[in-house]
Structure 1
Amino acid sequence: MASIKFRARGNSDQKEIYIRFSAGRSINIEGKTNYTIDKTLWKFTKATKGANKGKRTEFGEPKQTDTEGKTLKERLDTLSTVINKRYNEATEKGEQINSNWLNKQIDDIQNRTSSEQQDKGDIINFLSAYIEYLPDHIQKSGKRGLSKNTIQKFTNLKNRFADFQQSKRTKYQVTDITPDLSAQFDKYLRKNGYSDNYIGTLIKDLKTAAKHAKREGFNISDNIANIIAPKAETYKVILTLDELEQINNTTFEREALNNAKDWLLIGCYIGQRVSDLLPLTANNIVSKGGLLMLELTQQKTGNKVILPLQNEVQEILNKREGQFPRKISDQKFNTYIKQLCKIAKINTPTKGTIKQEVEIDGKKNDNKIFRNVSGVYPKHELITSHICRRSFASNYYGDIPTPLLMSATGHTTENKFLIYIGKTAVDQAHQLAEYWAKLAAEKKKESNLKVIRKAE
């Protein structure tokens, strides 16, 4: 009787799944299934006999904790069933059963293209299914689902790729994703006025989708590793502490702007994303060790954050009788902070991008087309809600230990944190030089002290 097992092999966290086929004493062969899986999602079994009894083996099956694992388990079960059936047919015909036979069956089974498989493999259909799957995806941390912004990025990819397909009058399959197709997509996006930053995000997400398709069993080209996303200059716009004071000292005629001003100031002093800032209420304030603390759970990461209330934040709450500013939507917050920064004369010429109407191929379209255009603008035109978190991180970098800043902003690595605030190796070298100069000055000051009189 034939026996089929699957095992996850490899030295990296992403394991390749092999099929082990045995029948009697004479047949014990193995072949690649072309599926891969993260080691944390593989349910390893233990040896039941022999010298390794009780020890973990590479054999097992996908964990049934999410849609991806369940789908992969179904694919492996189907592969097992069909190979068993073909083995019975082959033995009746007297065919030789060896590794070549097994690999031929795997390739043949996986390369069959029914109309249903074609539909699933259509890039737009695949992206639609992928977007539906993302809210149920379980991350390595154990947290279920990805953020709304991440899901929106893949929705943007689907829409832009649909436009690209329409321009080519061609429908592409996920198996068509190669560096060449990526280059064609890039060329189309540039021709239509999209920025390198936006194009880079779309290309990286296309590559991510291709990797997911490979895990789903599609025969994706190994060349997807050579897909390179364009990079462009990124602009780190912040409000300095002086500018925050300038805003604080400005009184606005409209109460809506005064309300938004307080939210902006609080955001820049606590360093939270707008999704964590605007829902705050007095219930988030707790007393710990005689100090007032702000306690919240970040929506994107699920991390619990506890911050001491700065004097500036306490002053805002005190004038509002311990309450946070009136609730407003993200959209209104973005609109109001641009207006109030203009009134407060936050006008420093600053590099950044602004969405503007553009011409494509030197022509204005009947439907207005807007793209992010890089340039130098008065800073108030570049203000968005993202400025709160970055201003906090940049303003206090060097004064507050970086790990403490990261615990507030939610960054997981110092490298990502430094990239976020735009610090380079040269910046860090300058900071180190300043620190050494400070130490040297303190040492010199100590050595210049003279003993006037010894204590009796």
Structure 2
Amino acid sequence: MNNTIQSTSGTVKYRIKDVQAKGETSIILDYSFGRNNRIKFATGYKVHPKNWDKINQRIRAVSTISNREKVNSDLLKFSYEFIDAVSSLDEFEKQNKDILKLLLAKIIRNDYEIVKPISSFFDFADDFIKTKENQAKNIDSVKLASVTVRSYKQTVNRLKDFNKKIKYNLDFDSIDLKFYYSFIQYLESNNYSINTIGKHIKNLITIMNRATEEGINTNLKYKHREFKSISEETVSIYLTESEIDALYNVDLSKTPDWELARDIFLIGYYTGQRVSDYNGIVEEQIKKFDGREVFQFKQKKTSKHVYVPIHHRVRAIMDKRYNGKPPRKLNDPDINEYIKEAGRIAEITELITIQKTIGGKNETKSVPKNTLIVSHTARRSFCTNAYLSKMPVIDIMAISGHSTEREFYKYIKVTPQERAVKIAESSFFKN
């Protein structure tokens, strides 16, 4: 009989990345081994915190999660295959984080192309993007995820351009304040706006944080208080009720694409939703409660369920041009292009002064209001006009999905004069 006690390979546990997340958050595999050694690896799956069973480390039995069984089965498979693979390693390999992560990459991502441990910044950045792409395939809003992935790719490409042209020899150890100001100067010399520069800095910090969490980076100079994302306030317009009326009444029958974009935009306005929710509403989302028609939404960004009364103008749009159903979906870039033209025909052309910092220089110019209309203007216009119409803020938030009043008040676009008029209507100022 063999009385030798075989040491275990380690302990695999699953957790969610952010227990306070308002929407879905990543499911992380944690592996503890040796003395105070630990690695973590993204599984590619996400779940809302309320649907995560912390004790059993699985997704709860919730009828609205159609792929729950597959995810839970995959989590079990990942841990079993990983422990089995680790058991075949020698003692040195069992303590090597790079080898362990390579095993996880093969098991979870089915990624057999990795032939060497990740050590350089650009190797890690490319792998980070690859992970994000895999995650994007496993969440509801693939479109939102693809936009995020594209943003990271743009940042890494700008860093590669900077490294090549400046010959900076960029790596983890060289990412400090000197690099920070050199990179900003490089972007300014290429006429990038301050908000675009800020986006790239923000993305870089995210990549560095991930590398630090995974034990690949040990340089913390990027955490200096001066090493921060920069931004400036942009002009975010809203359309007044009279401008919404003009847009609703204008005849666009000779330009069907503009008409479709206008109709989708107005549905966005009268529902107060994000474009990812209001563009592509299907007939099955129309419900009836106490004889009143409402749209049912599960917001893609937050997973919140909201119910919005169908405005009589929305019903008229559907009945007049779409056989009583919501209009078909239109590509978001097309909405942004066509709604500007619809606004021009509707004579929403008041001049708006905008300021923007490009290439380190402040530029001021006036542009017609219609050129600033985008798909998100619909939601902002709803929130602002509903507030000015004295709809209770709690009711507006129930429709828009804002979590706090502070968040809501930062979002709406109300001038001091408009707020003064609204306050004047209160009982305190009336006779």
Pair 1:421–1:199, CA change in 2 (3 A): farther
**Alpha-carbon distance, 1:7 to partner:** 12
Residue 145 of structure 2 corresponds to 147
Letter in 1 for 2:371: E
Cα contact 2:140–2:300 (8 A) shared by 1: no
The reply to whether residue 161 of structure 1 matches residue 149 of structure 2 is no
Matching residue's letter, 1:407: A
| Inter-partner Cα distance in structure 2 for 1:144 and 1:329 | 15
1:4-50, Cα deviation, whole Å (9 max, x unpaired): 98899xxx989xx99897xxxxxxxx76869899xx899889xxxxx
SS of 1:116's equivalent?
coil
What is the CA RMSD across the aligned residues, in angstroms? 4.7
The 1:31–1:262 alpha-carbon spacing in structure 2 relative to 1, beyond 3 Å, is closer
- Counting only pairs closer than 5 Å after superposition, residues 50-449 of structure 1 correspond to structure 2 as 116-117=116-117, 120-135=118-133, 137=135, 147-226=145-224, 227-252=227-252, 253-320=254-321, 321-352=323-354, 375-398=365-388, 399-422=390-413, 435=423, 438-441=426-429, 444=431
Change (3 A) 1:415 1:242: same
> How much has 1:347 moved relative to structure 2?
1.0
Distance 1:210 1:131 in 2: 13
Structure 1 residue 418: deviation in Å? 2.9
Residue equivalent to 1:366: none
**Given the superposition, is the C-alpha separation of residues 196 and 347 from structure 1 closer, same or farther in structure 2, using an over 3 Å criterion?**
same
What letter matches 2:350 in structure 1? T
What code does the residue aligned with 1:409 have? S
Structure 2 Cα separation of the partners of residues 384 and 13 of structure 1:
34
* SS of alignment partner, residue 426 of structure 2: helix
TM-score in terms of structure 2 length: 0.68
Whole-Å Cα distance in 2 between the matches of residues 35 and 264 of structure 1?
43
Distance, in Å, in 1 between the alignment partners of 2:343 and 2:385 is: 18
1:339 Cα deviation after fit: 1.1
Q: Distance in 1 between matches of 2:228 and 2:140?
A: 29
**Superposition deviation, residue 254 in structure 1:** 2.1
Partner Cα separation in structure 1 for residue 352 and residue 260 of structure 2: 26
**2:245 aligned partner, one-letter code:** E
CA contact 1:5–1:20 (8 Å) conserved in 2: yes
Q: What SS is found at the alignment partner of 1:397? A: helix
**Cα distance, 1:197–1:248 mapped onto 2, change above 3 Å:** same
Residue 124 of structure 1 aligns to a residue in which SS? Answer: helix
> More deviation in 250-259 or 378-387?
250-259
Unpaired runs of at least 5, structure 1: 22-29, 46-62, 87-104, 107-114, 363-371, 445-456
Which residue type is aligned with residue 148 of structure 1? S
Give secondary structure in 1 for the equivalent of 2:402: coil
For residues 392 and 174 of structure 2, the distance between their equivalents in structure 1, rounded to whole angstroms, comes to 48
- Could you tell me the percent identity over the aligned residues? 26
In structure 1, the residue corresponding to 2:236 is in which secondary structure?
coil
Amino acid at match of 2:411: Y
Shift of 1:171: 4.2
Question: Using a 3 Å threshold, how does the CA distance of structure 1 residues 147 and 31 change in structure 2: closer, same or farther?
Answer: closer
Which sits farther off after the overlay, 406-415 or 159-168? Answer: 406-415
8 Å contact from structure 1 (residues 274, 386) kept in 2: yes
Find the residue that maps to 2:155 and give its secondary structure. Answer: helix
Runs of at least 5 residues in structure 2 that lack an aligned partner in the other structure: 21-29, 43-48, 57-71, 98-114
The Cα of 1:292 is off from its aligned counterpart by 0.1
Q: 1:324 is matched by which residue type in structure 2?
A: P
Instruction: Letter of the 1:346 partner, please give it.
Output: I
